[in-house]
Amino acid sequence: MQKRIRVTIGLGVVILLLISACMYQLREGSVAVITRLGRPHRTELNAGLHLRYPWPIENVYRFDNRKRVLETSFTETLTRERKNVILLNYAVWDINDPLKFLQALHGAADLQIAEMLLDGIITDAKNAVMGNYDLSALVSTNEEDLNLAAIEQDIHTLVAQAAEEQLGVNVYEVAILRLALPQDNIARVFEQMRSERGQYAQRFRSEGERIASDIRSATDLEAEEILAEAEETAAGIRSQADAQAASVYAAAHSQDPQFYRFLRSLEALEAILGENATLVLDTESAPFDLLEEE
Amino acid sequence: MSDEVKQEDKAGQGRGPLLDPEIFLAVVIVFGIALAWIGLAFRIPSALIGALTLGTIALVTGDLVWSLDFLRAAGEAKDEGTKKALNLERDRFNRVHRPLSLLAGSLAFVIFTGWTVFASFAAVPDKALWAWIAFAANILTGVLLWWIGPKLSTGLKSSGSESTGTLTPWLRFSAIIIWIAAPASIGSVYSIESSPVGYLIWLYRIAGILALAFQAELFIRASWSLISPKAKVIEETPLPTLIGSISMGWQYGIRIEKGENRIPSLFSDNRLRWLTVFFRQSLPRVVLGLLAIMWLATSFVQVGVSEQGVRERFGGFTGEILEPGMHVGWPWPIDRVRRFPSRRLHIMQIGFQAQEYATRTNLIWTEAHGIEEDRFVTANGNEVISFDIELYYRISDIVKFAYTSNNPEALLKDIAYKAILLRTNATDSDSLLSRDRSELASGLKEDIQRACDSEEIGIDVSQVAIIAIHPPFEVAAYYQAVVSMQVYADTLAIQASTYREEIIPTRQAEAQISIDEASAYAARRVAIARGEAQGFTLVADAARPAFDVYSFRRRISALETGLEGKRLFIVSSRFIESERGDDRGLWFDLR
Residue numbers in A near B491 (CB within 8 A)? 208
Residue of B nearest to A202 (CA): B485
Above 0.95 for ipTM, yes or no? no
The larger pLDDT score, comparing residue A286 to residue A50, is at: A50
Residue B573 has its nearest CB partner, among A146, A245, A283, at A283
Q: Is the pLDDT of residue B174 over 80?
A: no
Q: Do B499 and A215 touch (CB under 8 A)?
A: yes
Interface probe, candidates B414, B459, B497, chain A, greatest A C-beta count within 10 A? B414
Size of the A and B interface in Cβ pairs below 8 Å: 336
Residue A253 has its nearest CB partner, among B312, B515, B536, at B536
pLDDT at B461: 95
Yes or no: say if B37 and B212 are a contact pair by the CB < 8 Å rule. yes
As a whole number of angstroms, the distance between CA B544 and CA B537 comes to 10
Q: Do A266 and B555 touch (CB under 8 A)?
A: yes
A164 forms beta bridges with: none
Residue numbers in B near A171 (CB within 8 A)? none
Yes or no: say if A62 and A26 are a contact pair by the CB < 8 Å rule. yes
Residue B379 has its nearest CB partner, among A71, A141, A292, at A141
Average pLDDT over residues A224-231: 94
Residue numbers in A near B427 (CB within 8 A)? 141
Residue in A235, A220, A223 with CA at minimum distance from that of residue B514: A235
Q: Is the pLDDT of residue B160 over 50?
A: no
Q: Which helix (H) or strand (E) holds B544?
A: none
Residue-wise pLDDT for B283-306, tens only, equals: 667 777 777 888 888 888 888 888
- Percent of chain B residues past pLDDT 70, beyond the cut: 51
CA distances A225 to B502, B507, B589, Å, are: 16, 9, 59
As a whole number of angstroms, the distance between CA A137 and CA B378 comes to 12
Query: Is CATH 3.30.479.30 the classification given to domain A68-180?
Result: yes
pLDDT at A225: 94
Residue B554 has its nearest CB partner, among A198, A216, A266, at A266
The larger pLDDT score, comparing residue B543 to residue A277, is at: B543
Average pLDDT over residues A45-51: 91
The larger pLDDT score, comparing residue A201 to residue B260, is at: A201
Residue of B nearest to A277 (CA): B566
Residue numbers in B near A280 (CB within 8 A)? 568-571, 588
Pick the CATH number of B350-471 from 3.40.50.150, 3.30.479.30, 3.40.50.10860, 3.40.50.510: 3.30.479.30
Single-letter amino acid code for the residue at B289:
G
Q: Do B496 and A216 touch (CB under 8 A)?
A: yes
Q: Which helix (H) or strand (E) holds B374?
A: none
Residue numbers in A near B407 (CB within 8 A)? 68-69
pTM: 0.59
Residue A275 has its nearest CB partner, among B508, B565, B574, at B565
B378 forms beta bridges with: B383
Q: Do A263 and B488 touch (CB under 8 A)?
A: no
Least confident range from B10-19, B136-145, B225-234, B329-338: namely: B10-19
Count of residues making up chain A: 294
Question: Cis bond leading into A56, ω under 30°?
Answer: yes
* Nearest CA-CA distance, residue B192 and chain A, Å: 23
Q: Is the pLDDT of residue A150 over 90?
A: yes
Q: Do A263 and B554 touch (CB under 8 A)?
A: yes
pLDDT at B101: 52
pLDDT at B87: 72
Residue numbers in A near B405 (CB within 8 A)? 66-69, 92
Residue-wise pLDDT for A94-134, tens only, equals: 999 998 888 888 655 578 888 888 999 999 999 899 989 99
Q: Is the pLDDT of residue B162 over 50?
A: no
CA distances B73 to B82, B194, B321, Å, are: 9, 59, 75
pLDDT at B196: 59
Residue-wise pLDDT for B490-520, tens only, equals: 999 999 999 999 999 999 999 999 999 999 9
Interface probe, candidates A3, A13, A17, A67, chain B, greatest B C-beta count within 10 A? A67
As a whole number of angstroms, the distance between CA B361 and CA B504 comes to 53
How would you label B92-111 residue by residue, b for 16+ Cβ within 10 Å and e otherwise?
bbeebbbebbeebbebbbeb
Residue-wise pLDDT for B323-373, tens only, equals: 988 889 998 888 989 999 988 889 899 988 765 554 556 666 776 665 567
Residue in B373, B483, B21, B165 with CA at minimum distance from that of residue A180: B373
As a whole number of angstroms, the distance between CA B520 and CA B516 comes to 6
As a whole number of angstroms, the distance between CA B505 and CA B139 comes to 95
Q: Is the pLDDT of residue B82 over 60?
A: yes
Residue of B nearest to A247 (CA): B529
* Nearest CA-CA distance, residue A152 and chain B, Å: 12
Single-letter amino acid code for the residue at B366:
T
Average pLDDT over residues A80-106: 88
* Nearest CA-CA distance, residue A112 and chain B, Å: 13
Residue numbers in A near B493 (CB within 8 A)? 208, 211-212, 215
Average pLDDT over residues B389-410: 93
Q: Is the pLDDT of residue B546 over 80?
A: yes
Mean pLDDT estimate for chain B: 71
Q: Hey, CA dihedral for B453, B459, B465, B468, is it positive or negative?
A: negative
As a whole number of angstroms, the distance between CA B563 and CA B158 comes to 154
Mean pLDDT estimate for chain A: 88
Residue numbers in A near B287 (CB within 8 A)? none
Residue B522 has its nearest CB partner, among A179, A240, A292, at A240
Residue of A nearest to B570 (CA): A281
Dihedral of CA atoms A154, A160, A165, A167 in degrees, nearest 10, equals 130
Return all residues near B482 (Cβ < 8 A) that are at least 6 apart.
A197, A200, A201, A204
Count of residues making up chain B: 591
* Nearest CA-CA distance, residue A143 and chain B, Å: 6
Helix (H, G, I), strand (E, B) or coil at B325: strand
Q: Is the pLDDT of residue B320 over 90?
A: yes
User: What's the angle, vertex CA B104, arms to CA B101 and CA B109, rounded to 5?
Assistant: 115
Interface probe, candidates A196, A206, A213, chain B, greatest B C-beta count within 10 A? A196
Q: Do A67 and B381 touch (CB under 8 A)?
A: no
Q: Is the pLDDT of residue B158 over 70?
A: no
The larger pLDDT score, comparing residue B247 to residue B527, is at: B527
